[in-house]
Structure 1
């Protein structure tokens, strides 16, 4: 009967040897893990037949190795010499020559901090590659799966639990990870300025973004901020990840090597995995998921990045945006046609298009994002409706919004459509910064409205009469200047 070495790998990578066990023992371990209510999960070593790992919810990893097998190395050759980080930098500190975040503040350090080396093609665009672990989430599976990835020499840069919002980090983001196969002689792990690889505790057949809200996940927001610090654009050059099983991806070498942005493991040439499944690409980029996930069109139509638009922008992308908006019903916003210099016409037409899709708040801020751009270049979505009768704004609704939104978390909205009209008017009056016009009647909006009451509405409001809560008279004066109707 076969015999196996049994050991426990702890989260700090120390190992407790437990002696030898029989095949019967291992069969019982498998049976227990297979039970529906079991908090344990088994996985085979990918390159050493007979070796078995048991992932545990408490963070420990059980390791079984055949007695007569050659010891499984914890690290495979890359094939460059692998330097061990004896003295890890503090969280957030950058190594010499880096220009982005190398270590995410607050991330759990896994392993010795060294997993790869320098990138092969640092002149190529930066990217993020998304994986799924095909394992449970929650508890302390992050530690046990992290130990497993170290033992099989397949470490990404980061591991993320969508249930607990915990982030683990194996090595600095400016060096390579080891979770991809090579594409012939081309080392996919070392492609681009950076190739930030993320393993998410999830199954590809059940997309992990379902029911998950990025706005409530500060750990994920740190991951996004780190990727953006390296210039990774908020686009999916190879399109949305395909569903699993049964989806298809072309794994284009040209796209992989020449385009920056977010990729699925299923997009990478030389690899055959289908993860992470049909995840919501908008949520992954920090959106709400209330609008369609962008499926990236042809390369020439790829979203150029948020930096191409907004005050001060002057480029061909602004001209193209205006041309597309005019074609979709936005002609009335442009007195002289589309041009390369960003203007209020571009903002207002973009906001009208976004509002036509049923979006509000930050999703309809007048600045095009990946989804707005994708709908325009593909001709999908709803056109900007023709100008209609003046919209109505209720004083009662505005007061209710102020009383509900101000004490609530940032971004809370009550009557976002009506509040948005008032905020646009306050922006036009020079009393509110554009970035605060988000459909939420928060403290900035109340302060701006109080300024309107004091200095703009005839100068007749002082003291408690200029408290920032709209009254019918002051709202009527604002409405008369900005094309809407004030009602009680």
Structure 2
């Protein structure tokens, strides 16, 4: 069962203030989710998201507000004793978007929710470093069609020279589709592109800037069926345009594409390949 007690754009009141700071109002949005359960037996044990449509809708709504699939302060701790040993880093809380447990928010006395599975509440957890920060080791980026080293450097907050050095490249033009590049993990943004919001997101009546951004990418890919627009409302023109993209993407993968259906409703594989810019 899923119940909503207030608009997602208005902060709830389940967090204590951190001294004089109004913790509930940190960030662009502050969505608080309460789960009825026991921290000693995390609610994600045996939980199957595929059998929980309301849970999937909740994640879709969270992503639609630009909250990335990451855990900036690391995986939630299993016990109160572990939480007590780990500082609730204020800088991480105030500067990094993503998922946080109650036990990671500064100014709180609660330690829940226990060691929940961060694959189910999706997101890459930062490596624990004692202060809730992340390790400084390199991450990996897979080069996609149309990528340039300068664009990748900008997205990861670094320089072309550093990427050339980090990867042992001879020059900045030494790129090929599918190539794995080392990138500075500490400089990686929460998300460069809009994460897939789920097929259920796309229906008549949906109004979102994500749809506008998607439409502009479809036009750029030569897959437009628009007469006017694109705009923020999901329409038959969006559906027809997206089907053109699905067909194009399928033909480019002449191995016989087995991704989402060619029905104009976005699926994760074709969505990720479209690379819709994050607003």
| TM-score (normalizing by structure 1) | 0.32
* Aligned equivalents of 1:174, 1:267: Cα separation in 2: 21
Count of residues in correspondence between the two structures: 183
Q: How big is the shift at 1:299?
A: 4.6
Residues 253 and 443 (structure 1), Cα distance of their counterparts in 2 relative to 1, 3 Å cut: closer
Residues 190 and 214 (structure 1), Cα distance of their counterparts in 2 relative to 1, 3 Å cut: same
Match of 1:284 in 2: 121
Q: How big is the shift at 1:284?
A: 0.6
Match of 1:222 in 2: 57
Residues 245 and 299 (structure 1), Cα distance of their counterparts in 2 relative to 1, 3 Å cut: closer
Residues 340 and 241 (structure 1), Cα distance of their counterparts in 2 relative to 1, 3 Å cut: farther
Match of 1:402 in 2: none
2:88 to 235, 251, 258: 251
1:346 aligns with 2:179: yes
* Aligned equivalents of 1:212, 1:261: Cα separation in 2: 21
* Aligned equivalents of 2:34, 2:137: Cα separation in 1: 26
Q: How big is the shift at 1:321?
A: 8.7
Match of 2:73 in 1: 238
Tell me the alpha carbon deviations over residues 427-476 of structure 1, each in whole angstroms, 9 at most, x when there is no partner: 7964268782xxxxx977xxxxxxxxxxxxxxxxxxxxxxxxxxxxxxxx
**2:143–2:178 contact (8 Å) kept in structure 1:** no
**1:312–1:342 contact (8 Å) kept in structure 2:** no
RMSD: 4.2
Q: How big is the shift at 1:312?
A: 4.5
* Aligned equivalents of 1:295, 1:194: Cα separation in 2: 21
* Aligned equivalents of 1:321, 1:213: Cα separation in 2: 40
* Aligned equivalents of 1:188, 1:260: Cα separation in 2: 14
Tell me the alpha carbon deviations over residues 138-183 of structure 1, each in whole angstroms, 9 at most, x when there is no partner: xxxxxxxxxxxxxxxxxxxxxxxxxxxx211000011110000001
1:431 to 228, 243, 254: 254
* Aligned equivalents of 2:88, 2:118: Cα separation in 1: 18
Q: Which runs of 5+ in 2 are unaligned?
A: 183-192, 196-248, 263-279
* Aligned equivalents of 2:146, 2:17: Cα separation in 1: 43
**2:49–2:56 contact (8 Å) kept in structure 1:** yes
Q: Which runs of 5+ in 1 are unaligned?
A: 1-165, 287-292, 328-335, 351-366, 370-425, 437-441, 445-488
Structure of greater Rg: 1
**1:311–1:342 contact (8 Å) kept in structure 2:** no
* Aligned equivalents of 1:429, 1:177: Cα separation in 2: 47
State the secondary structure of the residue aligned to 2:32: strand
**1:235–1:303 contact (8 Å) kept in structure 2:** no
Match of 1:272 in 2: 109
Give the structure, 1 or 2, with the largest relative contact order (CA under 8 Å, sep 6 or more). 2
**1:173–1:194 contact (8 Å) kept in structure 2:** yes
Match of 1:186 in 2: 21
Q: How big is the shift at 1:237?
A: 0.9
* Aligned equivalents of 2:115, 2:6: Cα separation in 1: 27
**2:75–2:126 contact (8 Å) kept in structure 1:** yes
| Alignment of structure 1 residues 238-387 onto 2, 5 Å | 238-248=73-83, 249-285=86-122, 294-296=125-127, 298-299=133-134, 301=136, 310-313=144-147, 314-316=151-153, 317=156, 343-346=176-179
**1:312–1:341 contact (8 Å) kept in structure 2:** no
